[in-house]
Every structure is written in structure tokens, then in C-alpha cells.
């Protein structure tokens, strides 16, 4: 019998499912400190947790531990790296809480629109302030959903019954998948300009931190309501404070830098504040518990590894090629446009890489979308693409081309008026260093994708390189290396410049306008 320890307030269905399986002895105790439990149950094989911290100290107290399951999506409280060093698989249960969060969004919007919270307090106090609580209806309003993953799509489904116009932004999801939930894809500026309600469902990372800031908030209409049940750092609090003062923008908030008691920095600007209740429903707790038990059984009995978040690369695959695949994906995604909805991902793996085609899909998907964890296995990568409505094609390779141990990646995105744009890159390793050999029609580039790099695609004519160099020099940016191939058939040239520092978007935009570029961007590789 394998001992399973559940040191958290989790629905008992996990314990019931595991014990019914017949191969597990389960101890569930949410009243004793995890460290004390680890000492008492040192023979634990699997640990199922919620928000408990699984530190190296805890792991060392459990010498027989082989599996940790996070009953929920986020696993930042688990030291996954140390767990992997000890041969321990860490799993999570993404999606188990999605409906709970989606329903919370609708509940907050309705409570705010009809002033339910202050009206309840007033009426309980014996007052009759009916005139003070004149509300507004959700019907015929425009609702913007920023992020159309599991939660965002469920919000669309739940709120569609109120006869709203739904706009959505997601740089990955296809327009076909968005249409399935009656959402029209558009850009962020349109959402902030036209929407009465805007609900956020995106991860917090370098691209999204402070995203809802001065520029977007300046576009919002009077009395626009923003709902944040995603991550605290997405919202620029100071910019919101100013927008609230000038135009009465409202904030319904359920997320904070830390889930803990104490004063909250958004207290003066939030119209509704909740203590991170998004996943706090009996149903979500039940779903997470059931999924945790089922995943543990599937891992042990069927070898299903889809939900492992700290997976090792398979034996025989050089990790450097995983880095190459990820870098090519990030580069290709920037060229095609990070806000352009994707339609298709195509890959070709040459030489000794062909047997690892499925595994190399993982760093590619993670490079396209930072929210996808590289520790997941290829089943999860394929499922993710399918959920987003993106077609994936692993092509048969032409060995006669002689591309030894090379990767070719093509991304096809949707543009306006149902047109498509396809970007193709190919890369390899040379003496252990990553090299990009081709970008679209520009072949034999052989530039190392490392450090700060700026790209300009433009119609070829004299003087463009001089214009770029002068503008960078005036901004104190030094060019360390450059590639400038020309394609006579299209009369287009590509300038790839490795520079000594990050180039601000304002400088890139100014250069782009001056040289009338087709595409221009900075990326740190």
C-alpha cells in the first residue's frame, strides 16, 4: 500500500477515490502543521496539497516521497526544482477552479451594478435609501474579456445570457474558437475604448505586468468597470487611481500581491474587494480533490504524465536543442506579431531530432505563449493547442536538404479581412551555439540569437542602414553585430542588429516610421 498524505482542507472525495482504488492508504489532517505531519508520516509516497508550502525541508523529511499533487492550478508554493532533483514528480489540476472564478466575475459585476453590498448594509441599519441605490442593467452593454483561456471562455458563456456584446483579446486563440463563445476578437485599445465592463484573465509576466496602465485607461469611457480576478500586478494602481479620479472608473478586485491579512494598497480605489474567493466554492474544492486523486492513479496505473509540471527531458535529447526550439518560437512569435491570433503551428525536425519531435513541441508552445509551463509534457502541449483552436502539423522532412539536427518552425496568424500571414524560421547548433539560419526568404543568416536584438524589415533602398545606425547612436545604443540580407525577388531587406542594451519601444517606433518598415521590434533572447 502506498501512503498518501493530505495535509489540507480538501474535499474528502480524494481520500475516498484513492482508498476505493485499493492501492493507497490515506491520511487526511488539516489541523496539524505540515512539518509535524511529515515527521510522523515519513513513509509518505504522495502528498496532495492546496496552498501549503512544500519546501526542501519538508521534502527532506519525506525520504519516500515520489509525487506531489497541487489540487489547483498554481504551484508557486512548491519547490519544483528541488523536487525534481530528488526524482519527485509535481502535478497540478488546471481548470478545476475555472467555473468558480467565472461565476465570481458575473456575481461581482451584478453586485456592483445594483449596489447590493451598500444597499444591504443600509437596509439592515433601518434606512430606506431606495433613491440612492439606482443601478444599471447588464443587458445591451459591451463586455471586454482580456484573455480567452478556460476562465475567459467560461465568463463569455456565463455572461452571454444577459444579451451583451462580447469583445475579446487573446494573442493565441483562433477566431474560430472565439466565435464558439460568441466573442469577437479585437485589440486591447478597442476593448478599452468601447467596453462598459472589462474583465482580466491573463497571467502576470514581463509582458503583462502593469499592462492596464495610463495608456489603456486613458481610452476608457466614463464609469467603465474593470474586474480583476487574475493577478494583482496586471493593474498599474497609480494610473488607475488617476483615471478613477478623473472619469469615475470602477474596480472590482479579488487579487493581491500576497494572500494575507493586513492593509491592501487598492483599498482606496476598489469598489468591491474580496479575499481571493475565486476558487472558494464547494464545487471547485470537490473538482480539485477529485482531479488530484484521479491524476495520481492515472500516473501510477496508466503512466499518464500530462499534468507533471517539472518533467525532465527524455534521455538522449540534448537540452540545448530544447533551448533552440524555445528561442526560435519566441523569435517567430515576435516577427508574426505577439497580438496576432494564431491559426497554425508547423514544425520540421531534421537529423537526430526527429525521434524527439513530440518533446520539442513543449518548448515551442512555451515560447509562443509564456503562460504554458515548459515542465509540462507533450500531451499537455497538444491539448493546449487544441483548446486554443490552433492546428498543429509535424511535417515529414526532406533528408536530401542536408539540414543536420535543425529545426524549422512556421507560424500562421490571422490578419484583418480574413487574410493570413506566415512566418518561417530555421535554426541549428554550431559548436554548441544557437544559430538562426533562415527567416522567411532570407537564408544563410547564421546569427546567434542571444542578448538584445532589433529587427527591421523594409523595402530595400539606399540609406536605410545609415538611418537606423544614426537613430540608435543618438539614443546611446551601440551596435555589436549586424546582418543585412536582401531578397531581389521581393525587393525587401532585413536588418538584424545585436545591440548593447534594450531599445525602448518609442525609439523602435520612431525608426520604423522614418524608414517606413514593414515590421520592427526588439527582443531579448
DSSP string, 321-381: HHHHHHHHHHHHHHHH-TTSPEEEEEEEE-GGGGGGHHHHHHHHHHHH-TTS-TTS-HHHH
Q: What confidence tier does 173 reach under pLDDT thresholds 50, 70, 90?
A: confident
| Owner of C-alpha cell 538562426 | 436
Across the range 396-415, mean pLDDT stands at: 85
Quick: pLDDT tens for 470-480.
999 999 999 99
Stronger pLDDT, 418 or 515, i.e. the higher one: 515
pLDDT of 304 strictly over 70: yes
Quick: pLDDT tens for 425-438.
999 998 889 999 99
Q: Where are the domains of the chain?
A: 2-95+282-302, 98-273, 319-524
| Domain made up of 319-524: CATH architecture | 2-Layer Sandwich (3.30)
pLDDT at 259: 83
DSSP three-state, residue 302: helix
pLDDT of 415 strictly over 80: no
Helices within 218-306 (DSSP H only): 237-247, 282-302
Within this chain, domains 2-95+282-302 and 98-273 share the same CATH topology: yes
Fold of 98-273: Rossmann fold (3.40.50)
Quick: pLDDT tens for 109-159.
999 999 999 999 999 999 999 999 999 999 999 999 999 988 999 999 999
Across the range 365-385, mean pLDDT stands at: 84
Share above pLDDT 70 across residues of the chain, in percent, rounded to a whole number: 99
Across the range 394-414, mean pLDDT stands at: 86
Q: What confidence tier does 420 reach under pLDDT thresholds 50, 70, 90?
A: low
pLDDT of 417 strictly over 60: no
Instruction: Quote the CATH superfamily of domain 2-95+282-302.
Output: NAD(P)-binding Rossmann-like Domain (3.40.50.720)
Amino acid at each position: 500500500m502506498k501512503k498518501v498524505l493530505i495535509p489540507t482542507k480538501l474535499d474528502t472525495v480524494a481520500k475516498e477515490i484513492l482508498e476505493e482504488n485499493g492501492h493507497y492508504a490515506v491520511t487526511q489532517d488539516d489541523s496539524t502543521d505540515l512539518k509535524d505531519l511529515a515527521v510522523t508520516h515519513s513513509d509518505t509516497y504522495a502528498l496532495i496539497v492546496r496552498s501549503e508550502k512544500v519546501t526542501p525541508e519538508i521534502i527532506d523529511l519525506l525520504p519516500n516521497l515520489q509525487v506531489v499533487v497541487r489540487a489547483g492550478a498554481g504551484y508557486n508554493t512548491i519547490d519544483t526544482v528541488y523536487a525534481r532533483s530528488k526524482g519527485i514528480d509535481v502535478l497540478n489540476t488546471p481548470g478545476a477552479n475555472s467555473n468558480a472564478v467565472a461565476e465570481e466575475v458575473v456575481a461581482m459585476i451584478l453586485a456592483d451594478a445594483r449596489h447590493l453590498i451598500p444597499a444591504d448594509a443600509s437596509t439592515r441599519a433601518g434606512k430606506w435609501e431606495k433613491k440612492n441605490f439606482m443601478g444599471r442593467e447588464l443587458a445591451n452593454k459591451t463586455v471586454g474579456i482580456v484573455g480567452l483561456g478556460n476562465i475567459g471562455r467560461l465568463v463569455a458563456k456565463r455572461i452571454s445570457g444577459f444579451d451583451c456584446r462580447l469583445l475579446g483579446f487573446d494573442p493565441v486563440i483562433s477566431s474560430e474558437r472565439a466565435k464558439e463563445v460568441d466573442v469577437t476578437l479585437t485589440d486591447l485599445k478597442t476593448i478599452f475604448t468601447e467596453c462598459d465592463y472589462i474583465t482580466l484573465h491573463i497571467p502576470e509576466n514581463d509582458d503583462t505586468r502593469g499592462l492596464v496602465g495610463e495608456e489603456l485607461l486613458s481610452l476608457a469611457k466614463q464609469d467603465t468597470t474593470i474586474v480583476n480576478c487574475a493577478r494583482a500586478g496586471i493593474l498599474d494602481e497609480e494610473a488607475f487611481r488617476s483615471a478613477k479620479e478623473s472619469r469615475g472608473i470602477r474596480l472590482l478586485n479579488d487579487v493581491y500581491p500576497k494572500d494575507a491579512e493586513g492593509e491592501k494598497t487598492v483599498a482606496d480605489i476598489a469598489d468591491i474587494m474580496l479575499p481571493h474567493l475565486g476558487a472558494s466554492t464547494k464545487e471547485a474544492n470537490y473538482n480539485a480533490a477529485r482531479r488530484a486523486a484521479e491524476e495520481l492513479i492515472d500516473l501510477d496505473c496508466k503512466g499518464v504524465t500530462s499534468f507533471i509540471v517539472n518533467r525532465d527531458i527524455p534521455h538522449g535529447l540534448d537540452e540545448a536543442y530544447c533551448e533552440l526550439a524555445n528561442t526560435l518560437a519566441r523569435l517567430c512569435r515576435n516577427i508574426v506579431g505577439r497580438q496576432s491570433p494564431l491559426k497554425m503551428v508547423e514544425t520540421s525536425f531534421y537529423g537526430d531530432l526527429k525521434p524527439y519531435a513530440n518533446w520539442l513541441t513543449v518548448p515551442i508552445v512555451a515560447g509562443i505563449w509564456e503562460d504554458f509551463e515548459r515542465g509540462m509534457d507533450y500531451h499537455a502541449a497538444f491539448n493546449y493547442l487544441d483548446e486554443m483552436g490552433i492546428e498543429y502539423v509535424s511535417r515529414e522532412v526532406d533528408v536530401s536538404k542536408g539540414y543536420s539536427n535543425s529545426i524549422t518552425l512556421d507560424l500562421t496568424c490571422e490578419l484583418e479581412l480574413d487574410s493570413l500571414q506566415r512566418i518561417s524560421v530555421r535554426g541549428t547548433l554550431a559548436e554548441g551555439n544557437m544559430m538562426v539560419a533562415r527567416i522567411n526568404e532570407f537564408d544563410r543568416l547564421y546569427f546567434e540569437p542571444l542578448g538584445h536584438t532589433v529587427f527591421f524589415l523594409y523595402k530595400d533602398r539606399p540609406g536605410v542602414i545609415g538611418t537606423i545606425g544614426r537613430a540608435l547612436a543618438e539614443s546611446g545604443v551601440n551596435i555589436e553585430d549586424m546582418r543585412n540580407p536582401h531578397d531581389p525577388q521581393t525587393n525587401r531587406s532585413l536588418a538584424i542588429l545585436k545591440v548593447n542594451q534594450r531599445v525602448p519601444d518609442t525609439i523602435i517606433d520612431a525608426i520604423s516610421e522614418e524608414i517606413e518598415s514593414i515590421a520592427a521590434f526588439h527582443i531579448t533572447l
